[in-house]
């Protein structure tokens, strides 16, 4: 099971930053062709992505919105490239048919980003639009603008859309959604508090825009040692007894739902160990 905690965005027109990001501690690197790249630099950024992929690097790509000329050019270039990205994040996702077109053209995992009221309303339809949809998430800055609400930080105005995307992801059998970026790069305490709240609300992992944010996200996503011990003990009891349900030593009722939670905790702990072995955990 591959568990991605941090998704580091890096501008597609900055080869130096791409190389540094790929060598850094992020679990996943997202080379951005959209917001981080000026219109005049998009063609150069596209060429840089293709060159870096041809060199054997493994990373994700955020294309421009597929309905735009830049997005069409991104999809066309990636579709005809011999080397493919690990996946593609698709911004401004609203139309399941358009998402299917992108997935069919690319043949790699796609991750729609919901950034409008219509995108949120179509969350489940987007999550189930194609077998290659591997996860959904929110683009909160654009969404707040579209909803005409106060965005940024932990704006309570986005509470319902956040819950909506969590429910849609799990209803579709997808991983828990990745949290949107924390734009106050120097406010690491705020990042920690927000990421902890996100985990409690059903998110896992976070998009980041600066390497300094990665250690905080990794720490928050790590399972608590006591929780890992509980999960190990619970699954050990299950393996030895075969009981479908029981009362544990702490007086808590254990059933299939609790077992599923324990399995997730141990999967996360195992993934953390693999990251440490690879030298990617901070």
Residue ranges of the annotated binding site for substrate are: 62, 115
DSSP code of residue 277: H
Q: Contact, 120 vs 143, CB < 8 A?
A: yes
- Strand, coil or helix: 29: strand
Binding residues for Mg(2+) are 115, 142
H/E segment holding residue 208: strand 206-208
Cα angle at 118 between 112 and 120, to 5 degrees? 55
Strand 87-90 and strand 110-114: the pairing is: parallel
CA distance 241 to 237: 6
Region class of 81: left (phi > 0), else alpha (psi between -120 and 50), else beta: beta
Strand stretches in 76-182, DSSP E: 87-90, 110-114, 137-138
Q: Kindly list the distances between the CA atom of residue 184 and the CA atoms of 4, 6, 44, 154, 209, in Å, as whole numbers in the listed order.
A: 22, 16, 29, 12, 10
CA distance 240 to 78: 50
Q: Which of 34, 35, 103 is closest to 64 using CA atoms?
A: 34
Binding residues are 62, 115, 142
Residues 6+ apart with CB under 8 A from 189: none
CA distance 14 to 204: 28
């Amino acid at each position: 099971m591959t568990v991605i905690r941090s998704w580091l965005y890096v501008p597609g027109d900055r080869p130096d930053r791409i190389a540094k990001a790929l060598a850094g501690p992020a679990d996943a690197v997202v080379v951005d062709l959209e917001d981080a790249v000026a219109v005049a630099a998009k063609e150069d950024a596209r060429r840089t992505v293709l060159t870096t992929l041809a060199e054997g690097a493994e990373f994700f790509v955020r294309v421009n919105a597929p309905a735009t000329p830049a997005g069409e050019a991104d999809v066309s270039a990636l579709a005809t490239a011999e080397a493919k990205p690990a996946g593609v994040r698709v911004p401004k996702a609203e139309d399941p048919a358009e998402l299917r077109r992108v997935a069919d053209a690319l043949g790699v995992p796609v991750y729609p980003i919901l950034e409008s009221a219509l995108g949120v309303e179509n969350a489940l339809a987007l999550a189930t639009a194609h077998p290659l949809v591997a996860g959904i998430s929110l683009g909160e800055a654009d969404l707040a603008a579209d909803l005409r609400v106060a965005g940024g930080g932990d704006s309570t105005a986005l509470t319902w859309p956040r819950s909506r995307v969590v429910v849609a992801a799990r209803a579709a059998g997808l991983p828990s959604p990745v949290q949107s970026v924390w734009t106050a790069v120097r406010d690491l305490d705020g990042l920690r508090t927000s990421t902890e709240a996100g985990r409690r609300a059903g998110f896992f992992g976070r998009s980041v825009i600066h390497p300094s944010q990665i250690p905080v996200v990794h720490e928050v996503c790590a399972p608590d040692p006591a929780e890992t011990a509980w999960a190990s003990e619970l699954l050990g009891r299950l393996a030895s007894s075969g009981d479908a349900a029981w009362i544990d030593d702490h007086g808590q009722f254990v059933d299939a739902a609790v077992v599923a939670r324990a399995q997730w905790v141990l999967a996360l702990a195992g993934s953390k160990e693999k990251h440490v072995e690879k030298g990617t955990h901070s």
